[in-house]
Amino acid sequence: MDGNGRWAKERGLKRIDGHKKGAERISDVLEGAMECGIKYITLYAFSSENWNRPKTEVDALMKLLAGAVEKYGSKLIQNKVRFLTIGDLSALPPKTRQKIEALKQSTKDFSALTLVMALNYGSRDEMARAVSSIAQDAIDGRINPKSISWETISQKLDTAGVPDPDFLIRTSGEMRLSNYLMMQAAYAELYFTRTYWPDFTKEEFIRAIDEYKMRERRYGLTADQIRNK
């Protein structure tokens, strides 16, 4: 969800106004996802590097996050959306964390759609935590280092139990992954649009999904192999 700051600047507004407008767009993509029959959607809301932004912006984002969990929580329950997070929540303000945990708990049995929020998330941080946990398992004799496979690692990532993304959208014209789902997106189809996140409507989301449907996914095979399957 990129481009909130530039969206605001172009309108002579404050960066936080862009973040507020951006938060409103979340319901658009959730509606779009439900209409398209998508089962999992992950939103990169706050990265492990975003803490380095000016304190006023970080504080405002934290406040917005707490408010959004409160505001959209009942909407998620109404629509039977399961709420999950990835990232290290231990660094979030305790009250926000409590609200997040409560929402996870009250939506845990829903399966219509799963919304995963990446909060204080970064692939490198996630990998470091996973490796640390695997190393501890090895020391404690729960795992044989020779038997470690991608499966072992993926079960230790924050995304354990969540399927790998098929499609990755980045708004605002930036063409990079910025430490987002680096391993999980190994075979994801990438989609970049110049549209700033606050302008990314449900219609545009559905257009992106329509483009995804045209892509041929080969997973290292040849086009002939895929077509003759």
| Active site residues per annotation | 2, 50
CB-count burial class (<10 Å; 0-12, 13-18, 19+) for 118: buried
Nearest residue relative to ligand IPE (C-beta): 5
CB of 219 to Mg ion, least distance (A): 31
Interaction partner, residue 46 (ligand IPE, Mg ion, none; CB < 5-8 Å by kind)? ligand IPE
The site for ligand IPE (CB under 6 A) is made up of 1-6, 46, 50, 61, 172
CB of 44 to ligand IPE, least distance (A): 8
- Tokens standing for residue 62: 């934290």
Distance CA 113, CA 30 (A): 9
2 binds Mg ion (CB under 5 A): yes
Q: What is the DSSP letter of 229?
A: -
CB of 57 to ligand IPE, least distance (A): 8
Contact 116, 162 (CB under 8 A): yes
Stretch that binds Mg ion, among 2-10, 100-108, 140-148, 214-222 (CB under 5 A): 2-10
CB of 50 to Mg ion, least distance (A): 9
CB closer to Mg ion out of 83 and 197:
197
CB of 165 to ligand IPE, least distance (A): 18
* Residues 6 or more apart in contact with residue 113 via CB below 8 angstroms: 30, 33, 34, 38, 39, 40, 41, 79, 80, 81, 82
CB closer to ligand IPE out of 93 and 161:
93
Contact 28, 101 (CB under 8 A): no
Q: What is the DSSP letter of 157?
A: S
Residue with tokens 């990755």: 168
Which amino acid is located at 125 in the chain? D
CB closer to Mg ion out of 16 and 76:
16
Find the helix or strand (DSSP H, E) in which 169 lies. Answer: strand 167-170
CB closer to ligand IPE out of 58 and 143:
58
Number of H helices, E strands in the chain: 8, 5
Please, what is the Cα angle at 23 between 59 and 70, to 5 degrees? 75
CB closer to ligand IPE out of 6 and 207:
6
Residues that bind Mg ion in the complex, under the rule CB under 5 A: 2
